[in-house]
Amino acid sequence: DGNANDEDGNVLNDIAYAKVSGAALFTDSSTFGQDGPGTKTYGLDVTGPGSTNISGLIDATTNQPIVLVQIDADTVIGRVGSSGGADAFRIDVNPTTGEVTISQFRALEHDNAGSSASDHDESSSPEIMDAGKLLLNVTVTDGDKDHDTDSIDLGLLIKFEDDGPIARNDID
């Protein structure tokens, strides 16, 4: 399992983390045209105002929805129940490279029964956000400041897998 050692962390008190490069998320076919090269920048975008920012994910302890809160163009935090709730996860993008980092702080509900060890390996059916809730944008600007933006639905690409306990008879 590629996520077997995801508990050793990125930030203090996280329970899991992952990083992915911007190049792995976009097929770059950008051209700057006759005006010459310029810049490429990446940013996050939570879609929908206020209370409509419910991600589709549920906190395992409280059974409350996870609400997406845009801190700035580079950071989105998933909070329990409301914009002022406890942090469940944090998503950051490097605006220059497009590298995305996800740090998870709280357990999320999963659709599996959890009655066996194989139920906890959700590599084929992880929890994801609802479609259209979190976008990753790339903006290309040419030499005379003309620009164009493209987006991907990042929320559908971030996968929260369950990794429950395993009981073993360890009699020597």
Tokens standing for residue 106: 């709280």
User: What pLDDT does residue 10 have?
Assistant: 61
**Residue 171 pLDDT class (50, 70, 90 cuts):** low
Are 48 and 130 in contact, with CB atoms under 8 Å apart?
no
User: What pLDDT does residue 35 have?
Assistant: 85
- Residue 7 to residue 40: CA distance in whole angstroms: 32
- Residue 81 to residue 104: CA distance in whole angstroms: 16
**Residue 8 pLDDT class (50, 70, 90 cuts):** low
Mean pLDDT, range 68-86, rounded to an integer: 95
User: What pLDDT does residue 113 have?
Assistant: 61
Q: How many CB atoms lie within 10 A of CB 126?
A: 17
Mean pLDDT, range 111-130, rounded to an integer: 66
Mean pLDDT, range 131-140, rounded to an integer: 92
- Mean residue pLDDT across the chain: 82
Is pLDDT above 80 for 136? yes
Query: What long-range pairs does 80-87 form, CB within 8 A, spacing at least 24?
Result: 80/106, 83/50, 83/53
Task: Give the highest mean pLDDT range of 7-16, 97-106, 158-167.
Answer: 97-106
Is pLDDT above 90 for 98? yes
- Residue 151 to residue 133: CA distance in whole angstroms: 12
User: Which residue, 103, 105, 106, is CA-closest to 62?
Assistant: 106
Are 83 and 69 in contact, with CB atoms under 8 Å apart?
yes
Is pLDDT above 50 for 82? yes
**Residue 89 pLDDT class (50, 70, 90 cuts):** very high
CA 56 to chain centre: 13
Q: Which residues of 88-104 are buried (b: 16+ CB within 10 A; e: fewer)?
A: bbbbbbebeebbbbbbb
User: What pLDDT does residue 38 have?
Assistant: 86
pTM of this structure: 0.82
153 beta partners: 135
